[in-house]
Amino acid sequence: MNNKRFITEVASQTGYTNKSTQDLADSLIKIMAAQLEEGNSILVPNFGTFEVKKKNERIMVSPMTQQRMLVPPKLVVSFKPSTSVKDKFK
Amino acid sequence: MDAKVMIQDLAKALATQKSIDKKAALAFVQSFFDVILDGLKEEKYVKIKGLGTFKLVDVESRESMNIHTGERFEIQGHAKIGFTPDATLKDLVNKPFSHFETVPLADDVTEAELEAVDAQFENTISYQESDLPDDVESDSAGIETTDETVDNSDDVYQEVKSTVDPTLVSSTLSAPVASDDVEEVAAGKSSSTPVEFYPEVSYENTKTLSSSPEVEVENTDEVPVESARIASVLSEDDKSEIKPEDNQTNMEPEEEKEYLDYIDDSEESERRKIRRYEWIFGSIFALIAMGIGYFIGYVHLASRFPNEVEVIVVDTVYIEKEPVDSTKLPQTEPVIKRDETTPPLKTDTKAVPKTNTTQPAKSAVQEVKPAKPVPQPEKQPVQSAVTSDYSKYPQVAGGAYWIVGTAQTYKVRSGETIRIIAERFFGSRQMAPYIIKYNGISDPDHVAEGTILNVPKLESKKK
């Protein structure tokens, strides 16, 4: 399901037009992104948790050149589905 | 930071931002996530612009083991929801670390080394901090000595000795290193400071080493040569710098051993740092010493073939003032004397008048020179009369006091160390080396209860 179909689906469920749905979705995503940027985690019941995790620096070996690289630490967004959702997809 | 945000909070923020009903906003957020799940169910794949991609990943069934019972069982194959954040979201979240870049590593760097570098970095920082006060202290000491050295070489000699020694023997290990530092600095600042300071240190060394025949032989040979060499060095500054460092290298290991005797276990880590510093200094000195050795050898060789040496350009500064034992090494002097133009004959005549064995020191530099290579105190020109008395007893190399006899005897009690005894009799634990030396204790860390010690009577070298 691509973005366009997703928006259409949400629009049909909520009764908004596609355009305004896209608008609202963008705002929602921006709000979520702002929270994640702060380091907060987002709990969505019956869906899962978005949180920011820190990945430590590590040494990587390039498979092409065998050159060893030092990969810097980074912050990544992780999503952990709730147990109810997990069961749903079993 | 690390707060938990519920969808109600999201809906509230959305409502205020878009100025819509809160309830409607909540409903929208709810359906937003519901649709994601629906989409996943239908297509196993949902892509949302700005947020990322949700994907259902099939996990194959696999065997596992119950860690408690050791029973094997199968984990059923299932679907797993994967989430890949959108590039914009990824960058946004990683903003604090965005300045880092992946760097290629050199082949020989290991992970352990990287950690070691980190640790070292921390160490050096702490070391520098702890070192500060000592540095200042010994700096002032160095300056003090310079002033005095100017007028009276004899006094200076002892003066310097007394100032240097406590630092050497002292239990706080950072002190000697600090003084090393200072010497380095001083060398840069003024030429006169190191001249006095260095020879002094070196003298102690040779004294410590005097037991080894090798050193002795070398020294006796060196006396005149050394002075010759110094005369030949063009500027005074050079002289002071080169000469002392030569000796410094000799003492490095011996000195360190001495330290180790007095180190408390708690200072072990500090000692390690210091060792590193010593190693660095030592290697620098060793390099310089090699250069000097080459030069000495050159002069020495030249002295054997006086006629051929005339090529050497030498500066004859104060050779005439300095009566040198010409019987020992008649050739060296001439060599120095000679400029390119002077005939060999002239040198011979000059060498003849210098026949007295002990010579009065003309300058501080010259004074210290003969003293350094001569291992026995009697041979020191100035102190020959006095030291013969002291030589009856074992003396602490480089100490500020002479051991002149036994003050009293003392029976070691339970739980006492030499340092504690030293504190009782001399008021300072740093005096322990005198007791150790005087009693010839081989293992100062373990002195049996009931051992009878002779407490030495001390006399200050400084009059």
Q: What is the ipTM metric for this complex?
A: 0.87
Encoded tokens for B77: 């194959």
Position B8: which residue type? Q
List CB contacts (< 8 A) between A66 and chain B: none
Report the CATH number that the domain containing residue B423 is assigned in CATH.
3.10.350.10
B176 and B148 assigned to the same domain: yes
The whole-number pLDDT of residue A59 equals 86
Distance CA A71, CA B111 (A): 13
Instruction: Tell me which of B26, B89, B98 to substitute to probe the interface with A (most A C-beta atoms closer than 10 Å).
Output: B89
- As a dihedral over the C-alpha atoms of residue B37, residue B41, residue B45, residue B49, rounded to 10 degrees, the angle is -30
Neighboring chain A residues of B96 at a CB cutoff of 8 Å:
75
Q: Where are the alpha helices (DSSP H) in chain A?
A: 3-14, 18-38, 83-88
> How far is it, in rounded angstroms, from Cα B95 to Cα B155?
68
Rounded to a whole number of angstroms, the distance from the CA of A43 to the nearest CA of chain B is: 5
- Nearest residue in chain B measured CA to CA from A69: B104
CA distance A35 to chain B (A): 8
- The pLDDT score that the predictor gives to residue B141 is 41
The whole-number average pLDDT for the span A8-12 is 88
Residue B37 belongs to a domain? yes
Interior angle at CA A84, CA A79 and CA A85, nearest 5: 50
Q: In the beta sheet, which residues pair with residue B431?
A: none
Distance (Å) from the alpha carbon of B71 to chain A's nearest alpha carbon: 23
Partners of residue B75 in chain A, C-beta under 8 Å: none
Q: Which residue in B has a C-alpha nearest to residue A86's C-alpha?
A: B80
DSSP H or E stretch at residue B439: helix B432-439
The answer for residues whose C-beta is within 8 angstroms of residue B293's C-beta and 6 or more apart is B246
pLDDT of residue B157: 46
The reported pLDDT for the residue numbered B243 is 42
B36 inside domain: yes
The answer to whether B412 and B455 are in contact (CB under 8 A) is no
Using a CB-CB cut-off of 8 Å, the residues of chain B touching A28 are 10, 14, 28-29, 32
Rounded distance between C-alpha atoms, residue B450 and residue B420, angstroms: 15
Yes or no, beta carbons of A31 and B14 under 8 Å apart: yes
Q: Do A74 and B36 touch (CB under 8 A)?
A: no
Q: Count Cβ atoms below 10 Å from residue B138 Cβ, excluding itself.
A: 23
Q: B245 with B181, same domain?
A: yes
- As beta bridge partners, residue B79 has B58
Contacts with A42 from chain B: Cβ below 8 Å: 4-5, 7, 10
Task: Determine the residue among A21, A31, A59 to mutate to test chain B binding: the one whose Cβ has the most chain B Cβ atoms within 10 Å.
Answer: A31
**Residue B19 with chain A: CB contacts under 8 Å:** none
DSSP secondary structure code for residue A57 in this structure:
P
Of the candidates B395, B390, B454, B367, the one whose C-alpha atom is nearest the C-alpha of residue B211 is B395
How far is the C-alpha of B57 from the C-alpha of B71, rounded, in Å?
Answer: 28
Give A57 or B108, the one with higher predicted confidence. A57
Does residue B383 sit within a domain?
A: no
Q: Are both B136 and B221 inside the same structural domain?
A: yes
Phi and psi based region of residue A74 (left: phi greater than 0; alpha: psi -120 to 50; beta: remaining): beta
Are B372 and B397 part of one and the same domain? no
- Those residues of chain B that have pLDDT short of 50 are 128-261, 263-264, 266, 308-387
Handedness of CA A63, A66, A67, A73 (dihedral sign): positive
Nearest to A38 among B1, B17, B88 (CB): B1
Residues B371 and B402 in one domain: no
Do B290 and B372 belong to one domain? yes
Helix (H) or strand (E) holding B133: helix B111-149
The answer to whether residues B199 and B247 touch, using CB atoms and an 8 Å cutoff, is yes
Compute the count of residue pairs across chains A and B with CB atoms less than 8 Å apart.
Answer: 170
Q: Please, how many CA atoms are within 13 Å of residue B172, restricted to the half-sphere of its CB?
A: 14
Closest CA to B251 of B288, B296, B286: B286
Q: Is B288 within 8 Å of B242 (Cβ atoms)?
A: yes
Tell me which residue range forms the domain holding B54. 7-97
Contacts B56 to A, Cβ<8 Å: 89
What DSSP string describes B251-317? HHHHHHHHHHHT--GGGHHHHHHHHHHHHHHHHHHHHHHHHHHHHHHHHHHHHHSTTGGGGS----S
Evaluate whether residue B280 is within a structural domain: yes
User: Amino acid identity, residue B105?
Assistant: L
Domain limits, chain A: 1-39, 41-90
Same domain, B172 and B316: yes
Instruction: Say yes or no for a CB contact (<8 Å) between A45 and B4.
Output: no
Asked if the structure places residue B110 within a domain, the reply is no
- What CATH number does residue B36 fall under? 4.10.520.10
Helix, strand and coil in chain A, % to nearest 5: 45, 30, 25
Domain-located, residue B382: no
CA distance B48 to chain A (A): 5
The whole-angstrom separation of Cα B142 and Cα A27 is: 72
Per-residue model confidence (pLDDT) at position B275: 77
Domain assignment present for residue B445? The answer is: yes
| pLDDT for position B101 | 79
Q: Which of B306, B386, B305 is nearest to B338 (CA)?
A: B306
Are the beta carbons of B46 and A1 separated by less than 8 Å?
Answer: yes
Same-domain check for residues B315 and B372: yes
Given its phi and psi angles, is residue A45 left (phi above 0), alpha (psi -120 to 50 degrees) or beta? beta
Cβ contacts of B88 on chain A, cutoff 8 Å: 33
Mutation target for A interface from B45, B93, B118: give the one with most A CBs within 10 A.
Answer: B93
Nearest to B368 by CA among B98, B153, B181: B153
Residue B432 lies in a domain: yes
Q: Are strands B4-6 and B45-48 parallel, antiparallel or unpaired?
A: unpaired
Last residue of a domain, one of B327, B344, B377: B377
Q: Determine the length of chain A.
A: 90
Residue B121, pLDDT score: 62
Whole-angstrom CA distances from B175 to B11, B182, B232, B265, B416 are 67, 10, 35, 17, 26
Query: Which residue type is seen at B148?
Result: E
Q: Which positions in chain B touch A39 (Cβ < 8 Å)?
A: 1-2
- Report domain A41-90's class: few secondary structures
Q: Is B135 exposed, middle or buried, given 0-12, 13-18 or 19+ CB atoms closer than 10 A?
A: middle
Residues B152 and B276 in one domain: yes
Q: What is the pLDDT of residue A60?
A: 84
Which one has a higher pLDDT value, A28 or B366?
Answer: A28
Tally of domains within chain B: 3
Whether residue B262 contacts residue B169, with contact meaning beta carbons closer than 8 Å, is answered with yes
How is residue B71 written in tokens? 């029973």
Interface probe with A: pick from B19, B26, B33, most Cβ of A within 10 Å = B33
